[in-house]
Structure 1
């Protein structure tokens, strides 16, 4: 491993270690996951290249024993909870589907729970797959996206579906969002076509006083959210789940992620280690 790759990988792993430490994950569990992921990737890449996939070949590439590879190939990868994706689809339908939008204001309508037209039950049936409308309502109320009025109608509180209380759901986002960023970087590293480079940018300064950060956070929250809502509206118009009449070939996922970050700058170069 060359020095640049080693440094980049170390920074990624170190950031993950903070989460694993806080969750009490043992190093052995992490090592097993790394081995399993490496075996799965090598197998997929060999298949993509049209090469023969054998336990011996994977062992030679990864440096693992044939016995370890054989065991790891039988393991199933972890699955991310589907609640998040279903919730996002329901929320998107409420924001953009004319049946669930107030025709006068263009804003998400206040919905009755039941009804053949323009109800929450119909919204969930259309966008959430096989999840019941009762379960979806409880989930959306739990994360403070939906409120129930005194007359039983339902009001959308937020245009974004972000878990507020459930740490498990927030951890699930780690497995959804971080790989997308890494895949974009990997694509940009391997593409030979300059016109095929995917957008990946950030802006940051490293000598800011703490006092200005609340104002900047609010600025980002407001402007980034409006931009994401514009992107969301465009994608909704071109997505077959929302508009089944749209033609075209293949089935692709595309989107844009924006995240805010802040951290102290370490200016102390001489770090002391104690036993």
Structure 2
């Protein structure tokens, strides 16, 4: 975000990382779990395979712990690049201006680890 000479704030990106734990929880529920649940619900209620929304999970049960940092860095970099490409595409696509022809469309990206010691109580 930048501030113009006239004092207006101009968004340079349409995404952000919340600063506090509470804000990250709210964002995760609103923009992470909810859209995923909506996609799962849609995909389980449609009878037409051509109407399915893209939904994939990729994981490895046997990733050596010594490789975790390198894989995490690689995945984070690639997902950041891809999310910026999608954001640029969606930014260009939303210039129609006619509200009657607009709809919500998004892509959710995250990485996960199944580590019970990772979440504090």
Q: Tell me whether the two structures share a fold, i.e. TM-score over 0.5.
A: yes
Task: Out of 256-265 and 168-177, give the one that drifted further.
Answer: 256-265
Residue 248 (structure 1) shift:
7.1
Match of residue 104, structure 2, among 249, 253, 256:
253
Q: Deviations over 1:117-152 (max 9, x none)?
A: xxxx3234xx6xxxxxxxxxxxxxxxxxxxxxxxxx
Q: Equivalent residues in 2 for 1:27-46 (5 A)?
A: none
Partner of 1:52: none
Q: CA deviation at 1:251?
A: 3.5
User: Which residue of structure 2 lines up, in the alignment, with residue 88 of structure 1?
Assistant: none
Gaps of 5+ in 1: 1-90, 92-110, 128-155, 266-275
Query: Which string of whole-angstrom CA distances, capped at 9 and with x for unpartnered residues, describes residues 135-179 of structure 1?
Result: xxxxxxxxxxxxxxxxxxxxx8x9851013x11101111321201
Structure 2 residue 21 is the aligned partner of structure 1 residue 167: yes
Q: Structure 1: which 4+ aligned runs deviate by more than 4 Å?
A: none
Q: Is the 8 A contact 1:238 1:246 kept in 2?
A: no
- Report the RMSD for the aligned CA atoms in angstroms: 2.6
The answer to whether the 8 A contact 1:115-1:122 is kept is yes
What TM-score do the two structures reach when normalised by structure 1?
Answer: 0.38
Partner of 1:208: 63
Which structure is richer in relative contact order (CA contacts within 8 A, separation 6 or more)? 2
For 1:187 and 1:159, the matched residues in 2 are separated by: 25
> In 1, Cα distance between the equivalents of 2:24 and 2:115?
23
TM-score (norm 2): 0.80
1:65-214 matches, cutoff 5 A: 91=1, 113-116=3-6, 121-124=7-10, 160-164=15-19, 166-176=20-30, 177-214=32-69
Matched, 1:231 2:86: yes
